[in-house]
Structure 1
Amino acid sequence: MRTLVLGGSGFLGRAIVEEALARGHQVTTFNRGQSHPDVPGVEPVHGDRQRTEDLERLTAGRSWDIVVDVNGYVPVEVGEAVRLLSGRAQTYAFISTVSAIDGFPGKPVGDQPELWECAPDAGPDDGDYGVLKAGCERAVEQGFDGNVLIVQPGIILGPHENIARMPWWLTRISHGGQVLAPGDPDSPMQFIDARDIAVFTLEHAERGTRDRYVLTGPTGHITYGQWLELCKEATGSDAEFVWADSQFLVDQGVDPFVELPLWGGPPSEVTENFWSVPTAKAEAAGLRVRPASETVRDTWAWLRDIPEEQRTYGSRRQHGIAADKEAAILSAWAARPA
């Protein structure tokens, strides 16, 4: 099949491109050609989706069976791409996010979740990430003349992760010694490998599926403690995890999700909702999630060949706690009253 990927050189986009090539697709990618090298085997078209003339150059004389839009964040910009691609492809698969669901994570995700209110022509200042993604979904559904597939992933991990949550943990754990670990090791987690999203998305795009799916690991997939132990095993480290109480960490000024990635702070309804997203619909539609050990192992295999000074820990925001701050908190935890 002929497949166009808007994006296609970074993390999830790269996984989708590699899966499409493995399935025998003829793949065109459209991106700025600045952040990452193009995947070998694609037809690369470089341009900026914010520029109509670049989109017109992309679409001139071309058509595809499938469009996969990985990097659409602003409804009005997504709508312009949809306008120019409508009639030039049969299926438009849009990669959204579970954060587009109204109230999440303050409210649990139901079986038929509603989206945040956001117009399909909203601009970049008309909402936060999740709200704007909801508007992007509407822009695709209302503007594309063909099959529309919406994918709403939760936490995405795996090789080439550019948000760098697992890469930071793997690097820190590989150094060994006492490692500050947050909260309760039995706290549940849910995440999905980017490669599993790629398989699910392309399988349904090939079929012309018209639907919306939340994609993440099943409830009870893994605990935080099990995940960190997998990181220790993969790196061959002698790390000793020191589990500190969540409220203690907050009192010490630790920023949840950022300084200790994927730790959400003290237990609350919000954190419970965040890690208990239902996946029954996607599983019934064929979602297969690989073992967490495989995701951890493959991410380390990719990361360890990158010199530490060249590793980045977040494309938009730096992840990971500073070594001196971690050491001070470990000392404070050890010295706390019995």
Structure 2
Amino acid sequence: MRILVLGGSRFLGRHIVEEALLRGHTVTTFNRGVSGSLPGVEEIHGDREDAADLERLVDGRHWDIVVDTCGYVPRVVLASAQALSGHATTYAFISTISALDGFPSKPGTDESGLWACEPDAGPDDGDYGVLKAGCERAVSVGFTGNALFIQPGLILGPYENVARLPWWLTRISHGGQVLAPGSPTVPMQLIDARDIAAFTLDQSEAGVADRFIVTGPAGNATYGSWLEMCKDVTGSDASFVWVDDQFLLDREVGPFVELPLWAPPGPDMDNFWSASTERAFAAGLRSRPVLETVRDTWEWLREIPEESRVYGSSRQHGIAPDKEQAILEEWHKRS
């Protein structure tokens, strides 16, 4: 099959490209060419926000599958979907579970609707999840053909550019006392980017037009077991100091950002780690053990000099060492 990947040079997009090549497909990528290149693909450089670049991309071409890995603004996705309509059979859009109306305050299920957002909305018309909902609508109204929507949960794995797991692996590899947030028994729901890539291509190859929540089984790790995996694969002598959620919040520690994947309990986060995945697993989703994801991410990360590691593509992840130490000292005094 002929596959076009919008994006395709970073994290999930890169895994989709690699999986497609392993399956023997002919792959074209369309991006600005600022994040490196991959062997074995036809690279077309351009800006999806430029109408002339989109016209040049589709001129005289047809693909069996388009996978859109980098659509964040509805009106931009709408232009891409309209340009590719008639030039592809299936349009697979990588959305997010955050596009579901009310999530995570409300449960994320296959029956959940989307946040209200128009298909031609601009970048200032909502937050990440709301805009992704608008992007899904943009594909629905702009593309004639099969529309497949993939709504991932929390994605980890090699090439991670959000840098949640890479930050924890790096921090834990340094050893010593490590600030661990909340409770080690908090259940998580994690999925490897490679499993999303395989599922996306499985459904696209079959011409499926549907919407799937794609994440791991609920409780496939706990926060404690996940950090212990990081300790084991790095060979670290780290010891975890579990600090109360409210104690951290009172000291303005940022959930998800300063302590990646820390989601303090509360009504706004009640359903974050318990999304429904029945439809995806019934359709053939496979989710590898979390330990495999942690191990393979460390094997990739350790080849990058520590001074060259980047802990986030849009914002820096990880607590500052001085702040971590000050909180640990204060916690020990209190205890």
User: TM-score, structure 2 length as denominator?
Assistant: 0.99
Q: What does the per-residue CA deviation read over 1:128-148, in whole Å, with 9 as the maximum and x for residues that have no partner?
A: 111111111011111211111
Tell me how far apart the structure 2 counterparts of residues 240 and 106 of structure 1 sit (CA, whole Å).
33
Amino acid at match of 1:273: N
C-alpha RMSD over aligned residues: 0.8
Q: Secondary structure at the match of 2:200?
A: helix
Q: What does the per-residue CA deviation read over 1:188-213, in whole Å, with 9 as the maximum and x for residues that have no partner?
A: 11111100000000000000001000
Tell me how far apart the structure 2 counterparts of residues 54 and 186 of structure 1 sit (CA, whole Å).
50
Alignment of 1:82-101 (within 5 A): 82-101=81-100
Alignment of 1:318-333 (within 5 A): 318-333=316-331
Q: Secondary structure at the match of 2:67?
A: strand
Tell me how far apart the structure 2 counterparts of residues 88 and 198 of structure 1 sit (CA, whole Å).
22
Q: Of 284, 302, 306, which residue of structure 2 is paired with 1:286?
A: 284
Moved segments of 4+, more than 2 Å: 269-272
2:222 counterpart residue number:
223
State the identity %: 68
1:268 counterpart residue number:
266
Q: Of 311, 315, 318, which residue of structure 1 is paired with 2:309?
A: 311
2:143 counterpart residue number:
144
1:108 counterpart residue number:
107
Shift of 1:126: 1.2
2:27 counterpart residue number:
27
Tell me how far apart the structure 2 counterparts of residues 55 and 142 of structure 1 sit (CA, whole Å).
18
Tell me how far apart the structure 1 counterparts of residues 81 and 110 of structure 2 sit (CA, whole Å).
28
Amino acid at match of 1:99: S
Matched, 1:2 2:18: no
Matched, 1:57 2:56: yes
Amino acid at match of 2:119: P
1:174 counterpart residue number:
173
Q: Secondary structure at the match of 1:163?
A: coil
Contact 2:6–2:68 (CA<8 Å) still a contact in 1? yes
Shift of 1:238: 0.5
Shift of 1:269: 2.9
Shift of 1:111: 3.5
Shift of 1:40: 0.8
Tell me how far apart the structure 2 counterparts of residues 74 and 197 of structure 1 sit (CA, whole Å).
22
Q: Secondary structure at the match of 1:257?
A: coil
1:277 counterpart residue number:
275
Q: Secondary structure at the match of 1:264?
A: coil
Contact 2:109–2:277 (CA<8 Å) still a contact in 1? no
**Aligned pairs, how many?**
335
Shift of 1:105: 1.2
Amino acid at match of 1:220: G
Q: What does the per-residue CA deviation read over 1:94-144, in whole Å, with 9 as the maximum and x for residues that have no partner?
A: 000011111111211133110011111111111111111111101111121
Tell me how far apart the structure 1 counterparts of residues 122 and 258 of structure 2 sit (CA, whole Å).
31
Shift of 1:272: 2.6
Shift of 1:47: 0.6
Amino acid at match of 2:196: I
Shift of 1:271: 2.6
1:252 counterpart residue number:
251
Shift of 1:37: 1.2
Contact 2:184–2:222 (CA<8 Å) still a contact in 1? yes
Shift of 1:270: 2.8
Q: Secondary structure at the match of 2:274?
A: coil
Q: What does the per-residue CA deviation read over 1:222-256, in whole Å, with 9 as the maximum and x for residues that have no partner?
A: 10000000000110100001111111111122111
2:187 counterpart residue number:
188
Unaligned runs of 5+ in 1: none
Q: Secondary structure at the match of 1:150?
A: strand
Tell me how far apart the structure 1 counterparts of residues 291 and 268 of structure 2 sit (CA, whole Å).
27
Amino acid at match of 1:65: D
Q: What does the per-residue CA deviation read over 1:300-333, in whole Å, with 9 as the maximum and x for residues that have no partner?
A: 0000010111101010010000000001011011
2:18 counterpart residue number:
18
Contact 2:109–2:213 (CA<8 Å) still a contact in 1? no
Q: Secondary structure at the match of 2:195?
A: helix
Tell me how far apart the structure 2 counterparts of residues 242 and 43 of structure 1 sit (CA, whole Å).
49
